[in-house]
Amino acid sequence: MRRGSAVLALAGLIGVIAAATVASAETVALTGRFPADYREPSFLKRMGVDRIDGPDGGGLGFALERALANRGHYSVVVLNGRASGDVDGLLSGLVTTEISELRTTEERENCLEKKKDNFGKEECVRKEKTTIYCRKRTIDLTADVRIARAADGRVAYSSRKPRHNEVKWCPGQSAPGAVDGTVRSMTDSIADEIAREISPRTERYDLRFYESRDAMPKEMHTRFKDAIRATQRDLPGACRELEAMEAAAPQFAIAYDVGICAEARGDYEAAIDAYRRAATLRPRDTADFDSATDRVRKLIVQRDDERARR
């Protein structure tokens, strides 16, 4: 076999091994409820969309109504300057839009003379620079939005959302789409971003069990490996086995996997305790364990917020 072929074959074999390793990793798919980035407005369940000033304020208002309704967390009430009525929050704002279109120049290089080289390939031997006239359109749209509590007028959320669009076209190129369509895309983008920021979210995520047997007593290797494999067919039974193993001989990998088990069954406090035990036993992997702890803390926050709302 030639050296090049041998290298390719080896690389292919390594790729297959790597793919098999990834494919064999045992994971569990979970679904969790996480808090809004801005929690305070998420308590205002009945949201009144009040007047959004500015030439494109109406478009943003419609977009906000759709985006909030699509999130399913808020009951949306359209006010448009009318009395607030029975609402918990008042969403209002101002949109400013600046549109400019001007002529601009661009230099292009044209080939005046070509010649074939020794291999028959054409190359340019004489060039000329020319100036062409193009058009450039710029749209800058900024939305200032706030949400006030209806009960006392206190601001629960305030944000400025800028959007910028710039397009240039020259002779021979198609002109851009209409300004109205671009502005509508900008307001839709802002509305979606605001709705994401103030709404709790449901996320599906995968957790991978630790399979490291570093520092683990040799007599536990097979038992631990069997327990990890069993997570794919009998998660509760595998978790009981992991918990028994940790009670007998604490190990960082077992502690972490016990944390995953607790998170999977919704016992978030127990999950945090297990992740902390893992961090204590394996300080060099603290970043992994801290990430898990932070995630579960967020799950606890949203769980407690929902209980408070009920």
| pLDDT digit string, tens, across residues 171-205 | 888 888 899 999 999 999 999 999 999 999 999 99
> Is the distance from CB of 264 to CB of 274 less than 8 angstroms?
no
Instruction: For residue range 258-304, list pLDDT tens digits in order.
Output: 999 999 999 999 999 999 999 999 998 888 899 999 999 999 999 99
Query: Could you count the other beta carbons within 10 Å of the beta carbon of residue 22?
Result: 9
H or E segment and range at residue 98: strand 89-116
CB atoms near residue 282 (< 10 Å): 20
Average pLDDT over residues 230-237: 96
> How far is the C-alpha of 191 from the C-alpha of 199, rounded, in Å?
12
Domains of the chain by start residue, with CATH: 39-96+141-199 (3.30.160.150), 209-309 (1.25.40.10)
pTM: 0.78
Q: What are the distances in angstroms from CA 76 to CA 19, 61, 98?
A: 48, 11, 30
Average pLDDT over residues 211-228: 91
**Residues 90 and 158 sit within 8 Å (Cβ to Cβ):** no
Beta partners for residue 138, in sequence order: 100, 166
- Give the pLDDT band (50/70/90) at residue 81: low
Give the pLDDT band (50/70/90) at residue 129: confident
Q: Could you report the per-residue pLDDT of 87-100, keeping only the tens digit for each?
A: 999 999 999 999 99
Distance between CA atoms of 60 and 68, rounded to whole angstroms?
A: 12
- The answer, yes or no, to whether residue 125 has pLDDT greater than 70, is yes
- Contact predicate 197/68, CB 8 Å: no
Phi-psi region of 62 (alpha: psi -120 to 50; beta: other; left: phi over 0): alpha
